[in-house]
Amino acid sequence: MENIARERYERWLNDPGISAEDKEKLKNESDEELQDAFYKELEFGTGGMRGIIGLGDNRMNIYTVGRASQAFANYINKSVHGDKSVVISYDTRHMSKEFAQETAEIFAANGIKAYLFEEFRPTPILSFAVRYFHATAGVMITASHNLPKYNGYKAYWSNGAQVIPPHDEGIINEYKAIKSFGEIKRMPLDEAREKGLVTMILKEVDEAYFRKALSLSFNSVDPELKIVYTPLHGTGGKIVPVLLEKDGFHPYVQKEQGIPSGDFPTVEYPNPEDPKAFKLSLEDAKKMDADIIVASDPDADRMGVMVKHNGEFVRIDGNQMGILLLHFIAKKYSENGMPSNPVAIESIVSSKMFAKVAKSFGVDVVEVLTGFKWICNAADDLRSAGKHVIFAYEESYGYNIGDFVYDKDSATAIMLTCEMASEYKKKGMSLVDALEELYKEYGYYFETQIAPVFEGEEGMGKIRAIVDSLRKNPPQKLINYELTKVTDYINGVDNVPPSNVLKFEFGKNLMFYCRPSGTEPKVKFYIMVMEFDEKENALSTLNQAKEEISHIVEELSR
Protein backbone atom coordinates (compact mmCIF):
# COMPACT_ATOMS: atom_id res chain seq x y z
CA MET A 1 0.00 0.00 0.00
CA GLU A 2 1.20 3.50 -0.81
CA ASN A 3 1.52 6.09 1.97
CA ILE A 4 -1.71 8.03 1.34
CA ALA A 5 -3.79 4.87 1.17
CA ARG A 6 -2.11 3.47 4.29
CA GLU A 7 -2.75 6.69 6.23
CA ARG A 8 -6.44 6.59 5.36
CA TYR A 9 -6.61 2.89 6.21
CA GLU A 10 -4.99 3.45 9.62
CA ARG A 11 -7.39 6.32 10.26
CA TRP A 12 -10.33 3.94 9.75
CA LEU A 13 -8.82 1.38 12.13
CA ASN A 14 -8.48 4.09 14.80
CA ASP A 15 -11.84 5.77 14.19
CA PRO A 16 -14.33 5.19 17.04
CA GLY A 17 -17.18 5.56 14.55
CA ILE A 18 -16.19 2.37 12.68
CA SER A 19 -17.57 -0.86 14.14
CA ALA A 20 -15.19 -3.51 15.49
CA GLU A 21 -16.65 -5.98 13.00
CA ASP A 22 -15.85 -3.74 10.02
CA LYS A 23 -12.35 -3.03 11.32
CA GLU A 24 -11.75 -6.78 11.44
CA LYS A 25 -12.99 -7.13 7.86
CA LEU A 26 -10.52 -4.47 6.73
CA LYS A 27 -7.64 -6.26 8.43
CA ASN A 28 -8.39 -9.34 6.34
CA GLU A 29 -8.30 -7.48 2.99
CA SER A 30 -5.31 -7.77 0.65
CA ASP A 31 -2.95 -4.83 0.13
CA GLU A 32 -4.16 -4.56 -3.46
CA GLU A 33 -7.79 -4.28 -2.40
CA LEU A 34 -6.94 -1.80 0.37
CA GLN A 35 -4.95 0.35 -2.05
CA ASP A 36 -7.96 0.70 -4.34
CA ALA A 37 -10.33 1.24 -1.40
CA PHE A 38 -8.26 4.02 0.19
CA TYR A 39 -6.10 5.74 -2.46
CA LYS A 40 -8.72 8.51 -2.79
CA GLU A 41 -12.01 9.69 -1.37
CA LEU A 42 -15.26 9.52 -3.29
CA GLU A 43 -16.10 12.92 -4.76
CA PHE A 44 -19.19 14.67 -6.06
CA GLY A 45 -18.93 14.55 -9.87
CA THR A 46 -21.35 15.03 -12.79
CA GLY A 47 -23.93 12.79 -11.10
CA GLY A 48 -23.09 13.14 -7.42
CA MET A 49 -21.10 10.53 -5.51
CA ARG A 50 -20.76 7.06 -7.01
CA GLY A 51 -18.56 4.07 -6.26
CA ILE A 52 -18.17 0.36 -5.66
CA ILE A 53 -19.97 -1.00 -2.59
CA GLY A 54 -17.52 -1.98 0.15
CA LEU A 55 -15.43 -0.65 3.01
CA GLY A 56 -13.04 2.26 2.51
CA ASP A 57 -12.91 5.96 1.63
CA ASN A 58 -13.20 5.11 -2.08
CA ARG A 59 -16.25 2.92 -1.54
CA MET A 60 -19.98 3.26 -0.98
CA ASN A 61 -20.79 2.13 2.56
CA ILE A 62 -22.77 3.28 5.59
CA TYR A 63 -19.81 5.43 6.66
CA THR A 64 -19.23 7.35 3.43
CA VAL A 65 -22.99 7.67 2.88
CA GLY A 66 -23.32 8.78 6.50
CA ARG A 67 -20.52 11.30 6.09
CA ALA A 68 -22.15 12.70 2.93
CA SER A 69 -25.51 12.98 4.68
CA GLN A 70 -24.00 14.64 7.74
CA ALA A 71 -22.14 17.07 5.49
CA PHE A 72 -25.33 17.83 3.55
CA ALA A 73 -27.23 18.36 6.80
CA ASN A 74 -24.49 20.65 8.14
CA TYR A 75 -24.57 22.71 4.95
CA ILE A 76 -28.36 23.02 5.04
CA ASN A 77 -28.41 24.04 8.70
CA LYS A 78 -25.75 26.69 8.11
CA SER A 79 -27.20 28.14 4.90
CA VAL A 80 -31.00 27.84 5.27
CA HIS A 81 -33.18 29.53 7.89
CA GLY A 82 -36.58 28.41 9.13
CA ASP A 83 -38.15 24.99 8.62
CA LYS A 84 -35.99 22.56 6.64
CA SER A 85 -36.85 19.26 4.98
CA VAL A 86 -35.38 16.72 2.58
CA VAL A 87 -36.96 14.06 0.33
CA ILE A 88 -35.18 10.70 0.03
CA SER A 89 -35.68 7.95 -2.56
CA TYR A 90 -33.72 4.94 -3.74
CA ASP A 91 -33.46 2.41 -6.56
CA THR A 92 -33.39 -1.41 -6.67
CA ARG A 93 -29.64 -1.79 -6.14
CA HIS A 94 -27.89 -3.63 -3.35
CA MET A 95 -27.84 -1.53 -0.16
CA SER A 96 -30.01 1.23 -1.66
CA LYS A 97 -32.81 0.89 0.89
CA GLU A 98 -30.31 0.67 3.76
CA PHE A 99 -28.44 3.77 2.55
CA ALA A 100 -31.74 5.65 2.17
CA GLN A 101 -32.84 4.79 5.71
CA GLU A 102 -29.41 5.73 7.04
CA THR A 103 -29.72 9.07 5.28
CA ALA A 104 -33.16 9.70 6.79
CA GLU A 105 -31.91 8.87 10.29
CA ILE A 106 -29.03 11.34 9.94
CA PHE A 107 -31.16 14.22 8.66
CA ALA A 108 -33.69 13.58 11.44
CA ALA A 109 -30.93 13.63 14.07
CA ASN A 110 -29.88 17.03 12.71
CA GLY A 111 -33.38 18.46 13.05
CA ILE A 112 -34.22 18.30 9.35
CA LYS A 113 -37.52 16.60 8.48
CA ALA A 114 -37.16 13.69 6.04
CA TYR A 115 -39.80 12.51 3.57
CA LEU A 116 -38.77 8.91 2.88
CA PHE A 117 -40.30 6.77 0.13
CA GLU A 118 -41.75 3.51 1.48
CA GLU A 119 -40.63 1.66 -1.67
CA PHE A 120 -38.06 2.28 -4.36
CA ARG A 121 -38.99 5.01 -6.79
CA PRO A 122 -37.27 6.51 -9.87
CA THR A 123 -34.97 9.53 -9.92
CA PRO A 124 -37.55 11.73 -11.74
CA ILE A 125 -40.10 10.99 -9.01
CA LEU A 126 -37.55 12.12 -6.39
CA SER A 127 -36.95 15.36 -8.29
CA PHE A 128 -40.70 15.91 -8.61
CA ALA A 129 -41.25 15.18 -4.90
CA VAL A 130 -38.72 17.81 -3.84
CA ARG A 131 -40.79 20.42 -5.65
CA TYR A 132 -44.11 18.87 -4.61
CA PHE A 133 -43.28 19.09 -0.88
CA HIS A 134 -41.44 22.44 -1.26
CA ALA A 135 -38.52 20.70 0.40
CA THR A 136 -35.13 22.24 1.03
CA ALA A 137 -33.28 19.41 -0.67
CA GLY A 138 -33.40 15.82 -1.90
CA VAL A 139 -31.27 12.68 -1.96
CA MET A 140 -31.48 9.85 -4.48
CA ILE A 141 -29.61 6.65 -3.71
CA THR A 142 -28.67 5.22 -7.11
CA ALA A 143 -25.79 4.38 -9.39
CA SER A 144 -28.00 4.80 -12.44
CA HIS A 145 -26.90 2.35 -15.15
CA ASN A 146 -23.60 1.24 -13.59
CA LEU A 147 -22.73 -2.41 -12.94
CA PRO A 148 -24.26 -4.22 -9.93
CA LYS A 149 -21.21 -3.66 -7.71
CA TYR A 150 -21.84 0.11 -7.72
CA ASN A 151 -24.13 2.42 -5.82
CA GLY A 152 -24.32 6.19 -5.52
CA TYR A 153 -25.68 9.31 -3.84
CA LYS A 154 -27.25 12.20 -5.75
CA ALA A 155 -27.87 15.49 -3.96
CA TYR A 156 -30.68 17.84 -5.03
CA TRP A 157 -31.56 21.40 -4.08
CA SER A 158 -34.96 23.01 -3.49
CA ASN A 159 -35.70 23.54 -7.20
CA GLY A 160 -35.58 19.75 -7.74
CA ALA A 161 -32.33 19.85 -9.72
CA GLN A 162 -29.03 18.30 -8.73
CA VAL A 163 -26.78 20.64 -6.79
CA ILE A 164 -24.36 22.92 -8.61
CA PRO A 165 -22.06 25.68 -7.29
CA PRO A 166 -22.17 27.06 -4.69
CA HIS A 167 -24.17 24.28 -3.04
CA ASP A 168 -22.09 21.32 -4.23
CA GLU A 169 -18.90 23.11 -3.17
CA GLY A 170 -20.43 23.89 0.21
CA ILE A 171 -21.39 20.24 0.76
CA ILE A 172 -17.94 19.06 -0.31
CA ASN A 173 -16.29 21.50 2.14
CA GLU A 174 -18.49 20.19 4.94
CA TYR A 175 -17.62 16.62 3.87
CA LYS A 176 -13.92 17.36 4.12
CA ALA A 177 -14.39 19.02 7.53
CA ILE A 178 -15.70 15.79 9.06
CA LYS A 179 -12.60 14.11 10.47
CA SER A 180 -14.20 11.18 12.26
CA PHE A 181 -17.22 9.02 11.53
CA GLY A 182 -18.01 9.48 15.20
CA GLU A 183 -19.22 13.00 14.29
CA ILE A 184 -22.17 11.55 12.38
CA LYS A 185 -25.46 11.99 14.25
CA ARG A 186 -28.17 9.33 13.95
CA MET A 187 -31.71 8.94 15.26
CA PRO A 188 -33.28 5.46 14.95
CA LEU A 189 -35.94 5.42 12.25
CA ASP A 190 -38.80 4.39 14.55
CA GLU A 191 -37.97 7.20 16.99
CA ALA A 192 -37.70 9.70 14.14
CA ARG A 193 -41.13 8.67 12.83
CA GLU A 194 -42.68 8.99 16.31
CA LYS A 195 -41.25 12.50 16.62
CA GLY A 196 -42.52 13.51 13.18
CA LEU A 197 -39.02 13.93 11.83
CA VAL A 198 -39.50 11.17 9.23
CA THR A 199 -42.68 10.86 7.16
CA MET A 200 -43.18 7.90 4.83
CA ILE A 201 -44.53 8.76 1.37
CA LEU A 202 -45.66 6.89 -1.76
CA LYS A 203 -48.99 6.92 -3.67
CA GLU A 204 -49.80 10.60 -3.12
CA VAL A 205 -46.62 11.58 -4.96
CA ASP A 206 -47.17 9.04 -7.76
CA GLU A 207 -50.67 10.35 -8.49
CA ALA A 208 -49.54 13.98 -8.47
CA TYR A 209 -46.73 13.09 -10.89
CA PHE A 210 -49.14 11.28 -13.23
CA ARG A 211 -51.43 14.31 -13.35
CA LYS A 212 -48.55 16.58 -14.33
CA ALA A 213 -47.18 14.17 -16.94
CA LEU A 214 -50.59 13.62 -18.53
CA SER A 215 -51.06 17.38 -18.83
CA LEU A 216 -48.30 17.26 -21.46
CA SER A 217 -50.06 14.66 -23.59
CA PHE A 218 -50.92 15.74 -27.13
CA ASN A 219 -53.62 13.03 -27.19
CA SER A 220 -51.96 11.41 -30.20
CA VAL A 221 -52.75 7.96 -28.86
CA ASP A 222 -53.30 4.85 -30.95
CA PRO A 223 -54.46 2.22 -28.44
CA GLU A 224 -53.54 -0.46 -30.99
CA LEU A 225 -49.87 0.57 -30.98
CA LYS A 226 -48.02 -2.54 -29.76
CA ILE A 227 -45.53 -1.50 -27.09
CA VAL A 228 -42.96 -3.66 -25.31
CA TYR A 229 -41.47 -2.00 -22.24
CA THR A 230 -38.53 -3.16 -20.11
CA PRO A 231 -37.45 -1.53 -16.83
CA LEU A 232 -34.20 -3.58 -16.86
CA HIS A 233 -34.93 -4.82 -13.30
CA GLY A 234 -35.17 -1.22 -12.08
CA THR A 235 -37.62 1.31 -10.71
CA GLY A 236 -39.40 2.19 -13.96
CA GLY A 237 -41.81 -0.72 -13.57
CA LYS A 238 -43.56 1.24 -10.80
CA ILE A 239 -44.26 4.25 -13.01
CA VAL A 240 -43.93 3.80 -16.79
CA PRO A 241 -46.62 1.14 -17.46
CA VAL A 242 -49.12 3.00 -15.27
CA LEU A 243 -48.52 6.30 -17.07
CA LEU A 244 -48.84 4.67 -20.49
CA GLU A 245 -52.11 3.03 -19.48
CA LYS A 246 -53.46 6.31 -18.13
CA ASP A 247 -52.59 7.90 -21.49
CA GLY A 248 -54.60 5.22 -23.34
CA PHE A 249 -51.90 2.70 -24.34
CA HIS A 250 -51.68 -1.01 -23.47
CA PRO A 251 -47.99 -1.79 -22.95
CA TYR A 252 -46.55 -5.26 -22.44
CA VAL A 253 -43.91 -5.36 -19.68
CA GLN A 254 -41.01 -7.74 -20.37
CA LYS A 255 -41.56 -10.47 -17.80
CA GLU A 256 -38.04 -11.40 -16.63
CA GLN A 257 -36.75 -7.82 -16.57
CA GLY A 258 -39.90 -6.61 -14.84
CA ILE A 259 -38.61 -8.30 -11.68
CA PRO A 260 -36.70 -5.75 -9.52
CA SER A 261 -33.17 -6.93 -8.79
CA GLY A 262 -29.87 -5.32 -7.86
CA ASP A 263 -28.07 -8.16 -9.63
CA PHE A 264 -29.60 -7.23 -13.02
CA PRO A 265 -29.42 -10.96 -13.83
CA THR A 266 -30.54 -10.86 -17.47
CA VAL A 267 -28.18 -8.12 -18.70
CA GLU A 268 -24.43 -7.61 -18.69
CA TYR A 269 -24.90 -3.86 -18.37
CA PRO A 270 -28.29 -2.36 -17.34
CA ASN A 271 -28.11 0.58 -19.73
CA PRO A 272 -30.57 1.29 -22.57
CA GLU A 273 -27.64 2.77 -24.50
CA ASP A 274 -26.31 -0.79 -24.84
CA PRO A 275 -28.08 -2.70 -27.67
CA LYS A 276 -27.50 -5.98 -25.79
CA ALA A 277 -29.82 -4.78 -23.02
CA PHE A 278 -32.71 -5.18 -25.51
CA LYS A 279 -32.17 -8.91 -26.10
CA LEU A 280 -35.17 -10.25 -24.15
CA SER A 281 -37.54 -7.42 -25.05
CA LEU A 282 -36.54 -7.81 -28.69
CA GLU A 283 -37.42 -11.52 -28.58
CA ASP A 284 -40.83 -10.65 -27.14
CA ALA A 285 -41.38 -7.84 -29.64
CA LYS A 286 -40.74 -10.18 -32.56
CA LYS A 287 -43.19 -12.76 -31.19
CA MET A 288 -45.84 -10.08 -30.67
CA ASP A 289 -45.09 -8.24 -33.91
CA ALA A 290 -44.75 -5.10 -31.78
CA ASP A 291 -44.30 -1.60 -33.20
CA ILE A 292 -41.92 -0.20 -30.61
CA ILE A 293 -39.69 -1.24 -27.71
CA VAL A 294 -38.99 1.26 -24.93
CA ALA A 295 -36.55 0.78 -22.06
CA SER A 296 -35.51 2.68 -18.96
CA ASP A 297 -32.37 2.23 -16.87
CA PRO A 298 -32.46 1.13 -13.20
CA ASP A 299 -33.35 4.56 -11.77
CA ALA A 300 -35.64 5.25 -14.75
CA ASP A 301 -34.22 8.56 -15.82
CA ARG A 302 -32.86 7.39 -19.22
CA MET A 303 -34.92 6.10 -22.14
CA GLY A 304 -33.86 3.78 -24.98
CA VAL A 305 -35.95 2.99 -28.06
CA MET A 306 -36.10 0.43 -30.86
CA VAL A 307 -38.76 0.56 -33.59
CA LYS A 308 -40.00 -1.82 -36.25
CA HIS A 309 -38.98 -0.62 -39.69
CA ASN A 310 -39.45 -2.67 -42.84
CA GLY A 311 -39.98 -5.78 -40.72
CA GLU A 312 -36.78 -5.34 -38.66
CA PHE A 313 -36.18 -3.64 -35.33
CA VAL A 314 -33.91 -0.61 -35.54
CA ARG A 315 -32.27 1.21 -32.62
CA ILE A 316 -32.81 4.97 -32.35
CA ASP A 317 -29.82 6.52 -30.60
CA GLY A 318 -29.89 9.30 -28.02
CA ASN A 319 -29.20 12.16 -30.41
CA GLN A 320 -31.69 10.90 -33.00
CA MET A 321 -34.42 10.59 -30.39
CA GLY A 322 -33.66 14.08 -29.09
CA ILE A 323 -34.09 15.48 -32.59
CA LEU A 324 -37.29 13.49 -33.23
CA LEU A 325 -38.86 14.57 -29.93
CA LEU A 326 -37.88 18.19 -30.42
CA HIS A 327 -39.40 18.23 -33.91
CA PHE A 328 -42.59 16.49 -32.70
CA ILE A 329 -43.06 18.82 -29.72
CA ALA A 330 -42.20 22.00 -31.64
CA LYS A 331 -44.51 21.02 -34.51
CA LYS A 332 -47.37 20.32 -32.10
CA TYR A 333 -46.84 23.65 -30.36
CA SER A 334 -46.62 25.51 -33.67
CA GLU A 335 -49.98 23.98 -34.67
CA ASN A 336 -51.69 24.61 -31.34
CA GLY A 337 -49.95 27.80 -30.23
CA MET A 338 -46.25 28.15 -29.49
CA PRO A 339 -45.49 29.54 -26.01
CA SER A 340 -43.88 32.97 -25.89
CA ASN A 341 -40.07 33.08 -25.81
CA PRO A 342 -39.60 29.33 -26.49
CA VAL A 343 -36.22 27.78 -25.68
CA ALA A 344 -34.72 24.30 -26.00
CA ILE A 345 -31.63 23.13 -24.12
CA GLU A 346 -28.96 20.62 -25.07
CA SER A 347 -25.53 19.65 -23.77
CA ILE A 348 -22.43 20.86 -25.62
CA VAL A 349 -21.60 17.32 -26.80
CA SER A 350 -25.04 16.65 -28.30
CA SER A 351 -26.04 16.80 -31.97
CA LYS A 352 -25.63 20.11 -33.79
CA MET A 353 -28.71 19.22 -35.85
CA PHE A 354 -30.80 19.95 -32.75
CA ALA A 355 -30.20 23.70 -32.98
CA LYS A 356 -30.96 23.73 -36.71
CA VAL A 357 -34.34 22.05 -36.16
CA ALA A 358 -35.19 24.27 -33.18
CA LYS A 359 -34.41 27.50 -35.00
CA SER A 360 -36.60 26.47 -37.94
CA PHE A 361 -39.55 26.71 -35.52
CA GLY A 362 -38.36 29.96 -33.97
CA VAL A 363 -37.09 28.22 -30.84
CA ASP A 364 -33.86 29.50 -29.29
CA VAL A 365 -31.22 27.00 -28.17
CA VAL A 366 -28.99 27.11 -25.10
CA GLU A 367 -25.95 24.83 -24.78
CA VAL A 368 -24.72 23.77 -21.34
CA LEU A 369 -22.18 21.36 -19.89
CA THR A 370 -22.87 17.62 -19.94
CA GLY A 371 -25.10 16.53 -17.09
CA PHE A 372 -28.72 17.23 -16.30
CA LYS A 373 -27.73 19.20 -13.21
CA TRP A 374 -26.53 21.88 -15.64
CA ILE A 375 -29.48 21.48 -18.01
CA CYS A 376 -32.17 21.79 -15.34
CA ASN A 377 -30.55 24.60 -13.41
CA ALA A 378 -30.22 26.47 -16.71
CA ALA A 379 -33.91 25.78 -17.34
CA ASP A 380 -34.73 27.23 -13.93
CA ASP A 381 -32.78 30.41 -14.72
CA LEU A 382 -34.40 30.73 -18.15
CA ARG A 383 -37.90 30.35 -16.71
CA SER A 384 -37.10 32.99 -14.11
CA ALA A 385 -36.17 35.28 -17.00
CA GLY A 386 -39.56 34.75 -18.68
CA LYS A 387 -38.56 32.05 -21.15
CA HIS A 388 -40.54 28.88 -21.87
CA VAL A 389 -38.32 25.79 -21.98
CA ILE A 390 -40.21 23.37 -24.21
CA PHE A 391 -37.66 20.53 -24.28
CA ALA A 392 -34.20 19.58 -23.03
CA TYR A 393 -31.94 16.64 -23.79
CA GLU A 394 -28.45 15.21 -23.82
CA GLU A 395 -27.03 12.54 -26.09
CA SER A 396 -26.78 9.91 -23.33
CA TYR A 397 -30.50 9.09 -23.58
CA GLY A 398 -31.69 11.82 -21.21
CA TYR A 399 -34.84 13.87 -21.97
CA ASN A 400 -36.96 16.37 -20.07
CA ILE A 401 -40.34 17.81 -21.00
CA GLY A 402 -42.31 20.20 -18.81
CA ASP A 403 -41.41 22.08 -15.65
CA PHE A 404 -42.35 19.61 -12.92
CA VAL A 405 -39.30 17.30 -13.01
CA TYR A 406 -35.85 18.87 -12.89
CA ASP A 407 -33.85 15.86 -14.06
CA LYS A 408 -33.98 13.28 -16.83
CA ASP A 409 -37.43 11.70 -16.96
CA SER A 410 -37.88 8.46 -18.90
CA ALA A 411 -41.60 8.04 -18.16
CA THR A 412 -42.81 11.30 -19.69
CA ALA A 413 -40.38 10.86 -22.58
CA ILE A 414 -41.67 7.32 -23.20
CA MET A 415 -45.26 8.56 -23.16
CA LEU A 416 -44.58 11.22 -25.80
CA THR A 417 -42.39 8.85 -27.84
CA CYS A 418 -45.29 6.41 -28.03
CA GLU A 419 -47.62 9.27 -29.02
CA MET A 420 -45.14 10.28 -31.72
CA ALA A 421 -44.91 6.68 -32.96
CA SER A 422 -48.73 6.54 -33.03
CA GLU A 423 -48.95 9.64 -35.15
CA TYR A 424 -46.40 8.43 -37.68
CA LYS A 425 -47.98 4.97 -37.78
CA LYS A 426 -51.23 6.57 -38.91
CA LYS A 427 -49.25 7.98 -41.85
CA GLY A 428 -47.78 4.55 -42.61
CA MET A 429 -44.36 5.64 -41.32
CA SER A 430 -41.94 4.43 -38.64
CA LEU A 431 -39.73 6.73 -36.59
CA VAL A 432 -36.88 5.69 -38.90
CA ASP A 433 -38.88 7.06 -41.83
CA ALA A 434 -39.55 10.23 -39.87
CA LEU A 435 -35.86 10.66 -39.12
CA GLU A 436 -34.92 10.18 -42.75
CA GLU A 437 -37.37 12.94 -43.72
CA LEU A 438 -35.67 15.27 -41.25
CA TYR A 439 -32.22 14.42 -42.63
CA LYS A 440 -33.41 15.23 -46.15
CA GLU A 441 -34.74 18.56 -44.92
CA TYR A 442 -31.91 19.64 -42.62
CA GLY A 443 -28.89 17.68 -43.86
CA TYR A 444 -27.22 14.50 -42.62
CA TYR A 445 -25.82 14.78 -39.10
CA PHE A 446 -24.40 11.67 -37.46
CA GLU A 447 -22.66 11.11 -34.14
CA THR A 448 -20.74 8.30 -32.49
CA GLN A 449 -18.60 7.73 -29.41
CA ILE A 450 -15.61 5.90 -28.12
CA ALA A 451 -15.29 5.62 -24.34
CA PRO A 452 -12.31 3.52 -23.25
CA VAL A 453 -12.36 2.40 -19.62
CA PHE A 454 -9.33 2.90 -17.35
CA GLU A 455 -10.09 1.59 -13.87
CA GLY A 456 -8.31 2.20 -10.59
CA GLU A 457 -5.54 4.59 -9.65
CA GLU A 458 -3.44 3.71 -12.70
CA GLY A 459 -6.46 4.30 -14.90
CA MET A 460 -6.99 7.79 -13.49
CA GLY A 461 -3.40 8.60 -14.43
CA LYS A 462 -3.95 7.37 -17.99
CA ILE A 463 -7.10 9.46 -18.38
CA ARG A 464 -5.24 12.57 -17.19
CA ALA A 465 -2.34 11.82 -19.54
CA ILE A 466 -4.62 11.40 -22.57
CA VAL A 467 -6.45 14.67 -21.95
CA ASP A 468 -3.26 16.61 -21.14
CA SER A 469 -1.56 15.32 -24.29
CA LEU A 470 -4.48 16.36 -26.51
CA ARG A 471 -4.58 19.75 -24.80
CA LYS A 472 -0.88 20.36 -25.49
CA ASN A 473 -0.62 18.65 -28.88
CA PRO A 474 -3.97 18.55 -30.68
CA PRO A 475 -4.15 16.51 -33.91
CA GLN A 476 -3.57 18.86 -36.82
CA LYS A 477 -5.50 16.71 -39.25
CA LEU A 478 -8.29 14.15 -39.01
CA ILE A 479 -8.75 11.99 -42.11
CA ASN A 480 -8.31 14.67 -44.80
CA TYR A 481 -9.74 17.53 -42.74
CA GLU A 482 -7.45 20.23 -41.36
CA LEU A 483 -7.83 21.39 -37.75
CA THR A 484 -9.45 24.82 -37.80
CA LYS A 485 -10.29 25.50 -34.15
CA VAL A 486 -9.67 24.18 -30.63
CA THR A 487 -11.94 25.20 -27.74
CA ASP A 488 -10.74 24.45 -24.22
CA TYR A 489 -13.48 24.70 -21.59
CA ILE A 490 -11.05 24.42 -18.66
CA ASN A 491 -11.50 28.12 -17.78
CA GLY A 492 -15.08 28.41 -19.06
CA VAL A 493 -16.36 29.55 -22.46
CA ASP A 494 -19.04 32.23 -22.93
CA ASN A 495 -21.78 31.31 -20.43
CA VAL A 496 -20.51 27.75 -19.95
CA PRO A 497 -18.68 27.30 -16.62
CA PRO A 498 -15.19 25.77 -16.42
CA SER A 499 -14.94 22.07 -17.21
CA ASN A 500 -12.26 19.65 -18.35
CA VAL A 501 -13.58 19.42 -21.91
CA LEU A 502 -11.82 19.93 -25.25
CA LYS A 503 -13.48 20.56 -28.62
CA PHE A 504 -11.63 20.09 -31.92
CA GLU A 505 -13.19 21.44 -35.13
CA PHE A 506 -12.14 20.42 -38.61
CA GLY A 507 -13.97 22.84 -40.88
CA LYS A 508 -17.77 22.89 -40.80
CA ASN A 509 -18.29 19.16 -41.40
CA LEU A 510 -16.30 17.35 -38.69
CA MET A 511 -15.57 17.79 -34.98
CA PHE A 512 -14.94 15.82 -31.83
CA TYR A 513 -15.03 16.47 -28.09
CA CYS A 514 -12.88 14.88 -25.39
CA ARG A 515 -14.28 14.69 -21.85
CA PRO A 516 -13.37 12.55 -18.84
CA SER A 517 -16.54 11.02 -17.38
CA GLY A 518 -17.69 12.46 -14.07
CA THR A 519 -19.26 9.18 -12.89
CA GLU A 520 -17.29 6.33 -14.49
CA PRO A 521 -13.59 5.51 -15.08
CA LYS A 522 -13.82 6.52 -18.73
CA VAL A 523 -12.60 9.20 -21.09
CA LYS A 524 -15.31 9.93 -23.63
CA PHE A 525 -14.86 11.06 -27.22
CA TYR A 526 -17.90 12.44 -29.03
CA ILE A 527 -17.41 12.42 -32.81
CA MET A 528 -19.74 14.35 -35.11
CA VAL A 529 -20.23 14.88 -38.83
CA MET A 530 -22.53 17.70 -39.97
CA GLU A 531 -24.38 19.16 -42.93
CA PHE A 532 -23.64 16.40 -45.44
CA ASP A 533 -25.81 16.17 -48.54
CA GLU A 534 -25.27 12.43 -48.97
CA LYS A 535 -25.90 9.83 -46.26
CA GLU A 536 -23.19 7.42 -47.41
CA ASN A 537 -20.54 10.14 -47.44
CA ALA A 538 -21.52 11.27 -43.91
CA LEU A 539 -21.38 7.73 -42.50
CA SER A 540 -18.08 6.94 -44.23
CA THR A 541 -16.51 10.11 -42.82
CA LEU A 542 -17.84 9.33 -39.33
CA ASN A 543 -16.47 5.78 -39.35
CA GLN A 544 -13.06 6.87 -40.63
CA ALA A 545 -12.84 9.57 -37.98
CA LYS A 546 -13.81 7.09 -35.25
CA GLU A 547 -11.13 4.65 -36.39
CA GLU A 548 -8.46 7.35 -36.48
CA ILE A 549 -9.37 8.77 -33.06
CA SER A 550 -9.39 5.24 -31.60
CA HIS A 551 -5.85 4.80 -32.88
CA ILE A 552 -4.78 8.14 -31.36
CA VAL A 553 -6.24 7.18 -27.96
CA GLU A 554 -4.59 3.76 -28.07
CA GLU A 555 -1.21 5.39 -28.71
CA LEU A 556 -1.68 7.95 -25.92
CA SER A 557 -2.74 5.33 -23.37
CA ARG A 558 0.44 3.25 -23.69
Distance separating alpha carbons of residues 308 and 510, to the nearest angstrom:
31
> Concatenated DSSP letters for 406-449?
-S--HHHHHHHHHHHHHHHHHTT--HHHHHHHHHHHH-EEEEEE
Contacts of 499 (CB under 8 A, 6+ apart): 369, 370, 489, 490, 492, 515
Distance separating alpha carbons of residues 22 and 124, to the nearest angstrom:
34
Active-site positions read 144
Distance separating alpha carbons of residues 206 and 415, to the nearest angstrom:
16
Residues of the chain by 3-state class (helix, strand, coil), percent to 5: 45, 20, 35
What phi, psi does 540 have (nearest 5°)? -65, -45
Facing residues of 525 across strands? Answer: 450, 514
Beta carbons within 10 angstroms of residue 509's beta carbon: 16
Distance separating alpha carbons of residues 98 and 339, to the nearest angstrom:
44
Residue 375: its H or E element: helix 372-384
> Concatenated DSSP letters for 141-195?
E--TTS-TTEEEEEEEETTSSBP-TTHHHHHHHHHHH---GGG-----HHHHHHT
